[in-house]
Structure 1
Amino acid sequence: MTLVSRSRITAIGTYVPERILTNEDLEKMVETSDEWIVQRTGIQERHITSDDEFTSHLCIRAIEKLRDTYNKSLEDVDLILTATTTPDYSFPSVACQIQGHFGIASTGAVDLNATCAGFSYALHLANGLITSGLHRKILVVAGETMTKITDYSDRSTCILFGDGAGAVLVERDDTEAGGFEATVMGTQGTGGISVYRSGLSSSMNGIPLEGSGKIVQNGREVFKWAVRTVSAGIEQLLRQAGVDREQIDWFIPHSANLRMIESICEKANIPLGKTLQSVQLMGNTSSASIPLALQAGVDSGQLKTGDRLLIYGFGSGLTHAGLIVRWGVPAI
C-alpha cells in the first residue's frame, strides 16, 4: 500500500575529514596493492579523521554546511535523529552534543544504531513522526568515524573504511502529498556473527568473538546476504509504490563496496548508470555513505528537485531498510 506522507527532505549538507588515505598509503601498512583493492572493492581512497576528531565534529560540520547552503534556521528543529555506530562516547549521545553545540532550545535528541542502514532507518522514522503530527521539523544526521574501530593489521577490512557525515532536514509539507512513497525494512539477527564489533560480551550465541573492539567481518557471507536481500527488497518497494523500474530516476544503495553495488544492480535489473555512490573516493562510511552519495549527485548536477529516488541501506545486524522518496531539496 502506498504511504500517505506529509513530510519532505528540504536541505542537505555533508562533511568529510581533510586527511586522505590512499591505496598507495595502505600498501605501506599491509600486504596489499592498489590493483588488488580496486579490483575487489572499487575503492581508490578514503577520508580519515585525525586523532582528536570524532563523530560529533563531523556531524556538526555537515549541519553547518546544510544551514549555510540553504539558509535554513535550526531554532525550530523539534527532534534530532543521529544515525551512528561510532559515537564519541557510549553516552552522552552525539545527538545531545549536536543540540548543545547549536543551542536548539526545545528539541528531542536521540542516537540510532542500525549500522550501515542507519540513515534509511532515520528517514523512515522522521517521515512517520512528522506524518503522524507529532513533529514538524526533524534534523536527520548520519556520522561515522569507522577508521577508529578498524584493525589496520587485517588487510581484508582495513582497505574498506572511511569517515564522514551527512545531514538532511525533513519538514512537514501540507501543500501536497509528501515526498515518501514507499518503505520496507527487515532484520536477520542470526547473521550478526557475520559482521560485528566486540563489546562487553566476549561471545555471540556461544561463539567466541575476535577483534578486541575492532570490526570483524565475513565479507563473503555479507556480500551474498546483501545482494539477495536488497534485490528482493527493491521488488517489494516497487510493488508498494506502484511504479516501474523505469520510473526510478536514481538508485542510492549503501556504498559498501562497488562490486557489491554492481551485483545488486545486475540482480535487481537496475542500470549502474542510474546509481549514485560514494565508495570510490570515500570508502565505506557506514550510515554516512548514502547522504555522501546524494551530495555527490547534487554537486554534479545529476540529482534534480522532484527526482524519484530508491534509497537502500543494509549492514550489520543483519539489518536493512529501503525507501522510495521524491527529492525535495531545491537547486542552489
Structure 2
Amino acid sequence: GKIISNNKAKYKFFLDISDLAQHMFVCGVTGTGKSNFIQHFLLNFTQHHDLPFLLTEFKGEYQFLQKKIKNLLIIKPGENFSINIFDPEGADPEVHAERVFQIFESGGLLEGVEYSPQMERAFVDILNKICPKPENRNWEAFKQISEKYGAENRDLMYKKSVTAVQNRIRRYSLGTLKNVFVKKSGLAVKELFDHKVLLDLSSIIRLGGEKEDALFFLNMILKYLWDKNIGIGSKDYEGIKHITIVEDAQYFAPEELSSRTKLSSYLEDIALLLRGTGECLITLATRPKISKEILANCGVLVSFQNHMQKDVMQELLNIDEEQKEYLSMLQRGQCIIRVNSIEKPFLLITPY
C-alpha cells in the first residue's frame, strides 16, 4: 500500500519479512478491506518468496488466487481431502491420543455430556488402544474397542458418559461427514505444509456440518502442523519457513476460550511457541475479540475501520485518545498499521 501523509497517498510501503516473522493480526468490520489486504499481500509475497502457506477460509473469497499463484492447491474437506484422526503420522501415539481428546473438549464437542475425570481417562484409554496400531486406526475398531471398554465397566453413570461420547463422535463415522474424517488416499496431512494451500472449510458446512465441526477439523490440521514444527525445533533458524493464515479467527481462538477452560487452542500455541521454528501466523477478525495470547504476540497489527473494542485496538496500535476516534472514520481500504520495527503507527491506503 501507500502511506498517507497530509491526506495524500505519498510513499509506497513494503513489509519486511523479518517483521512478518513476529506474526500479524488484521482487524476491521466486514467490507472495509481485510480480505482484500491479505489477497494483495499473498500476490505480492509469492512474487518475491517461494514459501509454503496454509490459508483457511469459509467464504470463497480467495478461490481466484489459484489462477494467479502458481501451484496453489485448493483443499475442500469431504470433497477432495480427508483425514484420519486416529493416525499420529509419526508422532507419539499416546501424546496424539491425549491431544485428540483435548481438541474435542476445547472445540465444545463434549458440551452437554456428563463430564468426569473417569470419562476422560476412559476416552483416552480407548484412543490409546487405537492410535498405536495401524490396523486399529478406523471407525469400526473404535466402535468395537469402545463397546468392549464400556462393557467391562459396571458403573451405570460411567457407562452413560462413555455412550454419550460415542454418540458425539459417531457422527464423524456415519452420514455426510464420513467423507471428511475417513482417510482414503491423497496427501498426508503433514505433506500439506510443503505446499501453497487454500483450505476451504465451507465444504464441511455444505455437507451438513456445523461451526464446531469446522473448528475440530482445523484444530486437527494445526495439531499436525504443531507436530511437524516441534519435530524440527528451532535449530538452524533462518527465518520464516511456513505461513498460516486464518480468516474469522474469532471462531477458532475466541477470547472466552481461555477464560472458560484451562485448555488453549492450537492457534494460541502456534503464536506463543512456534515463532522460533520458522512458523508465521496471520489472523484476521472483524474485531479484536480473540485470544489475548495471540494479540500479545503479534509484531504487526493492522486495523481497518472498527467500531467495537476500540480501547483494545488503541492499546495494541499504541495510539492516543484522539487517534482512537479515527478507527471509526477510516475509509474503505484505509488502515492504521503498527510494526514493531517502526517507531510510530501510520495510516496506509491499500488497493481495493
TM-score between the two structures when normalised by the length of structure 1: 0.26
- Answer 1 or 2: which has greater strand percent: 1
| Higher RCO (Cα < 8 Å, 6 or more apart) | 2
Higher Cα radius of gyration: 2
TM-score between the two structures when normalised by the length of structure 2: 0.25
- Answer 1 or 2: which has greater helix percent: 2
